[in-house]
Structure 1
Amino acid sequence: MKKALVAGASGGMGYALVCELVSRGIDVVAFSRGKEKLERLYKGQSNVIIFSGDALNQDDLMEAADGVDVIFHSVSFPYQEWVEKHLKCIDIMLEVAKIKGAKMAFVDNIYAYGRQINQLVTEDAKKEPHTKKGKLRLQMENRLKESGVPTLIVHMPDLYGPNAENTILHETLKNAVLNKKANFVGSTKAAREFLFTKDGAIAMVELALRQGAYNQNWNIPSTHPITGDELMAIIQEITGYEKKVRTVSKSMIRFLGIFSPFMKEMVEMMYLTENPVLLSGEKYQKEINLWPSTSYRQGIQETISWMKEN
C-alpha cells in the first residue's frame, strides 16, 4: 500500500488510522466534511493530503480516491440518520472502489452479532441481530461481501482515545477532566470492552497490508474486559476526580429519548451495557504476529492529555 484514503478522518478512529498509516510511510488522503477540523488535526503533517468533501457525494469521493490502493471506511452518522445514510454511503464507496480498482477496509462495531451470551464471540458466530441498528450493520456487511470488491471487515468494541469524542467513554472523561459530575452509561459492575483507538488502528492497518486478510471478517478485542468501577478508579487516580459518578440507566435513557432523537435511538443498544458482547481475538492472534496491548491506564492517560491540549 502506497496511498490510502481515510473517509471519516475527523473522527476518533479515522484520526488514529491516519496517524498509523503515516507512521508507516504511507501517503494518506484525510477525507471528511469539516475542513476546519481537518486542518486543525493534520495541517503541516507530512504525507497527509486534506480533502474536505461529502461521503454521500460520489464525485467528491472519486476525486479524493485518485491513485489510492485502499479506502478505509470510518464514516459515522448520528443514530437517527443511520437508515437514511449508511447504506447509501456504503454503495457509493463501493462504486468508487470498483472504478478506482481499490480495496476497502471497513471499521465495524459489534451490533451485527446481536445477543451473544456467556462466550467469547468468534468471527464464525451466527449473526442474528435483534435491533434495528444491528440489522442495518449486517446489511452493510452483506453488501460489502457481495460487491466483488476486496474488503476486510473489522469488528471493534466501544472505542476511546484521542479525538474520539462521539463515544460513550468520552462522555465520562470530559466531565471528570473538568471536575464536573461525571456520567457512566450502563452498569458500573458489568465487565465490558473498551478498545484504545490507536490499538485498533495498528491492528487494522496491519490487516490492510496483507493480501490474504481481505474478504474476511476480523475481531479486534480490547486487552481485557473492565468494569465501570475499575475504569473510574483509573480516571480518579489520573485526574484527582472525587465526585460521585452518576450511572445512566436504560430507563433514564428512555426518558431522555422523549426530548432527544439521539437518546431515543440509543435505548435499544443498552442491552450491550447489561449483557456485553465480548470478542475473541484468537483468529487475529493466530494469523498476525503483532498484538496491540495498550493498558487502560496508559490509554486513558493519553486520551486525557490530548483532551487537555485540544
Structure 2
Amino acid sequence: MKKAIVLGATGGTGEAVVSELLRRNIEVIAFGRSKNKLQNLISKYNNTNLSYALGDIFNYQSIENASVDVDIIFQCANVPYQEMEEKLPIIGNNVMKVADKLSKKIVIVDGIYVYGHQSAIGDENHPKLPHTKKGKIRLQFENLIFDSNKWKKAKPLIVRLPDYFGPSSQNSYLQPTINGVLNDKNTIFIGNLKTPREYIYLPDAAKMIVNIAEKDDAYGENWNIPGGNPISGKEIIHLARKITKYKKAIIPLNKTMIFLMGIFNPFMREITEMMYITKDGFILNNQKYKDRVGPIIKTDFEQALKETLSHNGKNKV
C-alpha cells in the first residue's frame, strides 16, 4: 500500500488510522466535510504525506473523485445512534459503489452489535443473532457490504472493535468519564462498575487494522480487533484517580437511569437498548489475528489511559 484515503478522517477511529498510516510513510488523503477540521488535522500532523479532500460521505461522486488514485479505502465515518437506521444504508451503498466502480480494496470499521447477547468468547464465526434495532441494522449493513451479487469488483473486509478510548476518541461509552475527569467535574460512568469489559486503545486498534489491510488474503472476511484484558469500571476509575488525583464523584448509570435521561436527550434514548453490552461484557476472540497476522498489539491499560488523559488534558496530568 502506497496511498490510502480515510473517510471520516477527523473522527476518533479515522484520525487514529490516519496517524498510523503516516507513521508507516504511506500517503494519506483525509476525507471529510468540515474544512476547518481537515485543515486542523493537516496542521496537527504537519506531514507532506497528508492531504485532504473536502466531500460528503452521503455524496457518492465526492467519494469517487477523491478515491481514484488510492490503493485502499478506509471507511471510518459513522452516524449518531438516532440516525443509524436512515443513514447507515446510504453510507454502505455509497462506499461500496465507489469501491466496486474503481475496483478498490475497502476496509470497513464496525463494532460488535451484530452479535447480540454473548454466549461465549466470540470469534469471527460467532452466531450473529442481534436482538436490538441497532444490532439488526448493523447486520443488514454487513450483508450489504458482502453482497457478491451486487458488487463484482470491490474487495471489502470488516474489522470489528469493542468499546475504545484514546487521544482521538470522541463518542465512546468511556468518553463522558474521561471528559469529567479532565474537567475536574462530577461525572458519569455508563454501565455498572463491576462487570469486566473489553476496551481497546485506539492507537493499538489502528496498528492492527492497517496490518490486516496490508494482507491480500484478508479481504472478503470479518476480523476481530481485540482489546486488552477485560477491566471493570471500578478499576478504571481507580486508575484515573491515581493518574490525575481526581476526587470528584463518578456516578454509574444503569439502564433505568439512562432511559430517564433519554426523555430529554435523544442520544441517551438510543443508548438504552445497547446497555446489555455493559452488563454482559462481550469479549472478542483474538486467535484468528494471531494465527494469520501476528501478535496482538496491547498497550498496558494504565499507560494507555495516562496517554489519553495527558493528550486531551494537555498539562493536567
Shorter-normalised TM range: over 0.9
In the TM superposition, what whole-angstrom CA distance separates every residue of 1:85-113 from its partner, at most 9, and x where no partner exists? 11111101111111222111011100001
> What amino acid maps onto 1:264 in structure 2?
R
Once residues 22 and 12 of structure 1 are traced to their aligned partners in structure 2, the CA distance between those partners, rounded to angstroms, is 16
**Alignment match, 1:237:** 242
- Residue 307 of structure 1 corresponds to 312
- Offset at 1:152? 1.2
Aligned residue for 2:174, secondary structure, equals helix
- 2:94 matched to which residue of 1? 92
TM-score (norm 1): 0.97
Query: Are 1:106 and 2:111 counterparts?
Result: no
RMSD: 1.2
What is the match of residue 138 of structure 1? 139
Q: What's the CA shift for 1:52?
A: 2.0
Please give the secondary structure, in 2, of the residue aligned with 1:120. Answer: coil
Task: Work out the CA distance in 2 between the residues paired with 1:250 and 1:224.
Answer: 25
Q: 1:202 aligns with which of 204, 207, 215?
A: 207
SS of equivalent to 1:104 = strand
**Contact 1:10 1:37 (C-alpha < 8 Å) held by counterparts:** yes
Instruction: Work out the CA distance in 2 between the residues paired with 1:290 and 1:70.
Output: 23
* 8 Å Cα contact 2:103/2:155 also seen in 1: no
Equivalent of 2:80, from 78, 81, 84? 78
What amino acid does structure 2 have at the position aligned with 1:6? V
The letter of the residue matching 1:223 is: G
Query: Is the CA contact 1:192–1:226 (under 8 Å) kept in the aligned structure 2?
Result: yes
Is the CA contact 1:235–1:241 (under 8 Å) kept in the aligned structure 2? yes
Alignment-derived partner of residue 217 in structure 1: 222
Aligned residues: 309
Residue of structure 1 equivalent to 2:20? 20
CA contact (8 A) 1:69 1:101 kept: no
1:46 aligned residue (42, 45, 48):
48
* 1:5 partner SS: strand
Deviation above 3 Å: which 4+ runs of structure 1? Answer: none
The 3-state SS of whatever aligns with 1:259 is: coil
Letter paired with 1:40: N
Alignment partner, residue 124 of structure 1: 125
Match of 1:253 in 2: 258
Query: For the Cα contact (< 8 Å) 2:121–2:284, is it kept in 1?
Result: yes
Deviations 1:20-74 (A, max 9, x none): 1111111111011222112212233221111221100011101111201111111
Structure-2 residue corresponding to 1:36: 36
Matching of residue 294 in structure 1 with residue 299 in structure 2: yes
**Within 5 Å, which residues of 2 pair with 1:175-190?**
175-190=180-195
Q: Is the 8 A contact 1:199 1:294 kept in 2?
A: yes
Q: Which consecutive residues of structure 1, in runs of 5 or more, have no partner in the other structure?
A: none
Counterpart residue type for residue 53 of structure 2? F
TM-superposed CA distance for 1:302, in Å, is 1.2
Superposed CA offset, 1:125-148 (max 9, x none): 110101110011111111111134
Q: Identity percentage over the alignment? A: 39
- Please say if residues 67 and 100 of structure 1, whose CA atoms lie closer than 8 Å, have aligned partners that are also in contact: no
TM superposition score normalised by structure 2: 0.95
- In the alignment, the residues of structure 2 paired with residue 220 and residue 165 of structure 1 have an alpha-carbon distance, to the nearest angstrom, of 19
Q: CA separation in 2, counterparts of 1:50 and 1:305?
A: 27
Q: Any idea what SS the aligned residue of 1:304 has?
A: helix
1:145-194 Cα shifts (integer Å, max 9, x gaps): 11342111111100111121111111101111121112100000000111
Q: Matched residues in 2 for 1:183 and 1:154: separation?
A: 29
Q: CA shift at 1:201, angstroms?
A: 0.5
Matched-pair contact (CA < 8 Å) for 2:165–2:175: yes
SS at match of 2:85: helix
Shift of 1:238: 0.8
Gap runs ≥5 in structure 2 = none
Structure 1 contact 190–274 (Cα < 8 Å) conserved: yes
Query: Which shifted more, 142-151 or 211-220?
Result: 142-151
Secondary structure of the equivalent of 2:307?
A: helix
3-state SS of 2:305 partner: helix
- C-alpha offsets along residues 203-254 of structure 1, whole Å, 9 cap, x if unaligned? 0100100101111111111111100011111111111111231111111110
- What is the letter of the counterpart of residue 136 of structure 1? I
Q: Is the 8 A contact 2:192 2:254 kept in 1?
A: yes
Q: 1:166 aligns with which of 140, 164, 171?
A: 171
Cα distance, 1:290 vs structure 2 = 3.3
> Equivalent residue of 1:6, what SS?
strand
Is residue 99–residue 155 contact of structure 2 (8 Å, CA) maintained in 1?
A: no
